[in-house]
Chain A
Amino acid sequence: SAVISQKPSRDICQRGTSLTIQCQVDSQVTMMFWYRQQPGQSLTLIATANQGSEATYESGFVIDKFPISRPNLTFSTLTVSNMSPEDSSIYLCSARAGDTQYFGPGTRLTVL
């Protein structure tokens, strides 16, 4: 299994600013992912964080808006750039160990 921590756990931000979310895994993992859970909705995959190379984004998500770093096998960051109220969501980091994905507790973001 994998234990995942995220910070911050929540934040309230102003429109037009950026927030960087950090994700730490307690063991080395090959695959890390970032998801978004909008209020009352299911989880949507934003991107796969690749170690040593650019992230792979899903349709509808772009690097300029959601830049991702993955400097090593246990850590990743997601930045939400130039935020608007529509970006208010819970952002979750995930890591795959074997054939199972484990999730962090999430970062609850509110954009005013």
Chain B
Amino acid sequence: GNSVTQMEGPVTLSEEAFLTINCTYTATGYPSLFWYVQYPGEGLQLLLKATKADDKGSNKGFEATYRKETTSFHLEKGSVQVSDSAVYFCALSEHSGGGADGLTFGKGTHLIIQP
């Protein structure tokens, strides 16, 4: 079956530091890949996505590149802010002949940015 593995936190960084949150996946086909973010007290929001190999998703200064050869989708940001403190979830969706398929999520990485 499908699975997503991401680094577990909490990850604590200082403001303006470089961020990498690792994510690797296992899938039988060619999934779409996503990063979702959950800010304190809020619901789950889509941060970025990539639907095929070598695609780069980007949003709010965050980037992730779909690497089929390493089955990875690592999240990066060049300079984090206190407002980036949240839980980040890596997820995949595998489409199979038009049938329904939900998302498979990683366990989430709690990111804490200190001023």
**Interface range for B:** 20 to 34
Smallest CB–CB gap between A107 and chain B, Å?
11
Contact with B along A51-64 (1 / 0, CB 8 A): 00000101000000
- B108: which A residues are within 8 A, CB to CB? 41-42
Instruction: Output the residue of A33, A103, A104 with the most chain B CB within 10 A.
Output: A103
Are B102 and A105 in contact, CB atoms less than 8 angstroms apart?
A: no
- Give the contact stretch, choosing among A11-19, A20-28, A74-82, A92-100: A92-100
A42-B106 contact, Cβ under 8 Å, with A99-B51, A100-B46, A103-B44: yes
Contact present for B32 and A99 (CB under 8 Å): yes
Q: Report the minimum CB–CB distance from B17 to chain A (whole Å).
A: 25
**Contact across chains for A42 and B46 when beta carbons are under 8 A apart:** no
> Which partner residue on chain B sits nearest A30 by CB separation?
B100
Cα distance, A92 to B32, chains bound together (Å): 21
Instruction: Name B's interface SS.
Output: strand
Give A50 to B101 CA distance when docked, in angstroms. Answer: 11
Please count the residue pairs between chain A and chain B whose beta carbons lie under 8 angstroms apart in the complex.
54
B85 on the A face (CB < 8 A): no
| A106 & B43 in contact (Cβ 8 Å cutoff) | yes
Give, as a whole number of angstroms, the nearest-CB distance from A71 to chain B.
17
CA of A90 to CA of B67 in the docked complex: distance in angstroms?
A: 32
The answer, among A41, A50, A105, for a CB contact under 8 Å with B43, is A105
- The answer to whether A101 touches B93, judged by C-beta atoms less than 8 angstroms apart, is yes
Q: Within the complex, what minimum Cβ distance (angstroms) separates A55 from chain B?
A: 10
A residues near B, CB below 8 A? 31, 33, 35, 41-45, 48, 50, 56, 58, 92, 94, 99-106
Other contacts beyond A100-B49, A105-B42: 20, CB < 8 A: A33-B102, A41-B108, A42-B106, A42-B108, A43-B44, A43-B103, A45-B102, A45-B103, A48-B102, A50-B100, A94-B102, A99-B49, A99-B51, A100-B46, A101-B34, A101-B46, A101-B102, A101-B103, A102-B46, A106-B43
In the complex, 17 of the A-B residue pairs with CB atoms within 8 angstroms, ordered by the A residue number, are A35-B103, A43-B103, A45-B103, A45-B104, A48-B100, A58-B102, A92-B44, A94-B102, A94-B103, A99-B51, A99-B93, A100-B34, A100-B46, A100-B49, A102-B46, A103-B45, A104-B43
